[in-house]
Amino acid sequence: MAQGTSLQYEPVAEIGGGAYGTVYKARDMESGQFVALKSVRVQTDQDGLPVSTVREVALLKRLEQFDHPNVVRLMDVCAITRTDQETKVTLVFEHVDQDLKTYLEKAPAPGLPPERIKDLMRQLLCGLAFLHSNRVMHRDLKPENILVTSQGQVKLADFGLARIYSCHMALTPVVVTLWYRPPEVLLQSTYATPVDIWSTGCIFAEIFRRKPLFCGASEVDQLGKIFEVIGLPPEEEWPADVTISRKNFPLLFPRPITDFVPEINEKGAQLLLEMLTFDPSRRISALNALQHPYFKEEDVPQMNS
């Protein structure tokens, strides 16, 4: 599994401590280019190998062969054995200087032009459609792990890591944001690739608003904030076998999405609502979203009357 060694990469700066441990910007001593290093300690089995991790990393490496333009490149995997119980695995990714959060913060008022928003969304959905077609869920999509290059190219980062780190996560008391979590995850119901579409909808709205759409402080609070926008779903759509009862929430009716995202056009609003659909089985897929009329129409610049 180990190709490079960690000695090949010289850390230059710490670029953030996320839920997955510290991330370093480093220089590849061989090529001179900058990379991002993400390390994780994983439990090993009798043969000294973390089986599930090896499987997940192999999947990431397989995706690498496609060299998709909207997915961050995994350049290398180094495994450094620590003890009999634990292996430190370092993943080496291409380094991109800014994330979508920074990119939005830097955009001058009144925000990004409609064509630019459409381009960002198209690229994001292309990356997601690629992952989903390879049966990879991102599971933690948010502006901080969507990277934007200086040329305006969107690259999804940290996908597939949720599975690799899940056993490790229990050990780290990191506050993970709930703002981009779909209802089925908040309710601890079963989930699949539609989770990422919900997060994409939240991000779509945020690109227009320049602030998050649903800022909940707890699972129940987050659901309440969601229902204030999309309404309380009918009883038959509420998943069975979840601990949070529908009776915990007031009867709310859907409000026009343009109350919350006033700058969005009609086709964009339709697409956004298809992403922010409570029932994951009725939520639009990434591939279908790319075929949506929103991407077909030209944005006509508004004439100042």
Tell me the average pLDDT of the chain.
Answer: 87
Q: Where in the chain is the domain with CATH 1.10.510.10?
A: 98-156+177-296
* Interacting residues of 249 by C-beta distance below 8 A, sequence separation 6+: 223, 224, 227, 232
pLDDT digits (tens, 9 = 90+) for 43-79: 777 766 666 777 777 778 888 888 899 999 988 888 7
**Where do the CATH 3.30.200.20 domains begin and end in the chain?**
8-94
Q: Which residues lie across from 80 on neighbouring strands?
A: 88
Cα distance between residue 173 and residue 182, in whole Å: 22
Span 172-189, average pLDDT: 81
Which one is predicted more confidently, 225 or 304? 225
Q: What is each CA distance from 174 to 22, 164, 171, 207, in whole angstroms?
A: 12, 16, 9, 26
By DSSP bridging, strand 86-94 and strand 98-99 are unpaired
Residue 133 token pair:
């077609």
In CATH terms, 8-94 corresponds, of 3.40.50.300, 3.30.200.20, 3.40.50.970, 1.20.1090.10, to 3.30.200.20
pLDDT, tens digit, 9 for 90 and up, residues 97-150? 899 999 999 998 888 999 999 999 999 999 999 999 988 888 889 999 999 999
Contacts for 280 with CB less than 8 Å, ≥ 6 apart: 182, 184, 191, 192, 194, 195, 198
Q: Where are any strands of DSSP class E within the chain?
A: 9-18, 21-28, 34-43, 74-81, 86-94, 98-99, 146-148, 154-156
Which region holds residue 304: left if phi is over 0, alpha if psi is between -120 and 50, else beta? beta
Residue 54 CA to residue 215 CA, distance in Å, equals 36
> How many residues does the structure list for the chain?
305
Q: Which residues are catalytic?
A: 140
Inter-CA distances, 73 with 2, 37, 61, 137, 206, Å: 17, 12, 9, 17, 26
Give the integer Cα–Cα distance in Å for 294 and 126.
Answer: 15
Q: 191 or 120: which carries more pLDDT confidence?
A: 120
CB 231 within 8 A of CB 172: no
pLDDT at 1: 43
Domain 98-156+177-296 - what CATH class?
mainly alpha
State the Cα–Cα distance between residues 221 and 107, nearest whole angstrom: 30
